[in-house]
Amino acid sequence: MVRCLFTCFGKGGGDNNGATPDPNDRGTAEEQGRSGGVVVELFSSQGCATSPEAEVLISRLGRGDFELEAPVLVLAYHVDYWDYMGWKDPFGHSQWTVRQKAYVEALGLDTMFTPQVVVQGRKQAVATDEASLLAMIKDAPIFPSPAFQGTFQRPTTDSLEVTLTGTLRTKVDSDGADVMVALYESGLITDCLAGENKGRVLANDFVVRRLEKFCSVKDTSAKKTVSGSLTLTLWEGFEGSKCVVAVFVQNNSHHIFGFQSFELPEDI
């Protein structure tokens, strides 16, 4: 892979090209109360020299260090296209690279880069640009949070069964949408032994370890009950106390319409 296609960015201005939010979106959320929040997705890599700076900012955001009007769900995806630089990111996966490529196409961008942040699936910026990030969160459309009841079981030592029942609280039209389930982990520490961050101790939070489609819905009212189960494969060293399950609704344009988070039971 050549560096002109995959770029590792430091601080810089945000590039908000791409889909324009529906002006009716915010009105719908306000009618049902500002009970929803904003999904912030980070695309990062331990092999990118400037990603650690973005990881610090995103960790502060997820911890609530900034005064924001709405809650924020942070999801950090570690891409794998920097692995050739000499350090294989232990959390990197081609699935996250594919997800970033989908945003590149949806937002009309010319290139992929790290660290990149995407807000509510609609706008993006260099993830070290704190001002642009906070501005995008402030301006993002807000949708009601789904109202799911969740139960969690370990049918085997290496799997987690997630069962959800409830309503989306947002109407889905004939174009349809997917209900996604993410399992993310915080408090990760890595001694980086090679690559552009050689010799550094890297801290990573909100790292997405699993992302699966729970179900697809179409022509669904905000009050219609949705239910089902899915099984997530766990990894060696899984600690439930460090992990959270997040549910969010996403359409074909990757626009996000509400999220809900679940702490795992202590006995998981």
Angle (CA) 96-84-185 rounded to 5° is: 35
Q: Is 90 exposed, middle or buried (0-12, 13-18, 19+ CB in 10 A)?
A: middle
Residue 153 confidence (pLDDT): 97
pLDDT at 124 over 60: yes
Largest CA distance in the chain: 53
Angle (CA) 1-77-81 rounded to 5° is: 10
pLDDT at 181 over 90: yes
Residue 8 confidence (pLDDT): 62
Residue 9 confidence (pLDDT): 59
Cα–Cα distance measured from residue 218 to residue 201, given in angstroms and rounded to the nearest whole number: 46
Determine how many CB atoms are found less than 10 A away from the CB of residue 212: 13
pLDDT at 7 over 80: no
Residue 108 near residue 17, CB atoms below 8 Å = yes
Residue 10 — pLDDT band, cuts 50, 70, 90? low
Q: What angle in degrees, to the nearest 10, is found between the helix axes of 51-63 and 130-139? A: 40
Q: Are strands 177-185 and 225-233 parallel, antiparallel or unpaired?
A: unpaired
Backbone angles phi, psi at 219, to 5 degrees: 50, 50
CA dihedral 99, 100, 101, 103 (to 10 degrees): 100
Among 98, 63, 62, residue whose Cα is nearest residue 78:
98
Give percent of the chain above pLDDT 70: 87
Structure-block tokens of residue 170? 């947002």
Residue 35 confidence (pLDDT): 77
CATH code of 6-263, in short, is 2.60.40.10
pLDDT at 53 over 90: yes
Average pLDDT over residues 255-263: 97
Does residue 27 or residue 262 have the better pLDDT?
A: 262
pLDDT at 148 over 80: yes
DSSP tally for the chain: helices H, then strands E: 4, 15
Residue 159 — pLDDT band, cuts 50, 70, 90? very high
The string of pLDDT tens digits covering residues 205-246 is 999 999 999 999 999 999 999 999 999 999 999 999 999 999
Of 8-22, 65-79, 100-114, 201-215, give the lowest mean pLDDT range. 8-22
Average pLDDT, the chain: 90
Q: pTM of the entire structure? A: 0.88
Residue 266 confidence (pLDDT): 92
Average pLDDT over residues 178-190: 98
Question: Which one-letter DSSP state was computed for residue 220?
Answer: B
The string of pLDDT tens digits covering residues 82-97 is 999 999 999 999 999 9
Among 30, 258, 267, residue whose Cα is nearest residue 166:
258
Cα–Cα distance measured from residue 19 to residue 164, given in angstroms and rounded to the nearest whole number: 31
Residue 5 — pLDDT band, cuts 50, 70, 90? very low
- The string of DSSP codes covering 66-115 is S--SS-EEEEEEE-STTGGGS---TTB-HHHHHHHHHHHHHTT-S-EEES
Average pLDDT over residues 137-162: 97
pLDDT at 3 over 50: no
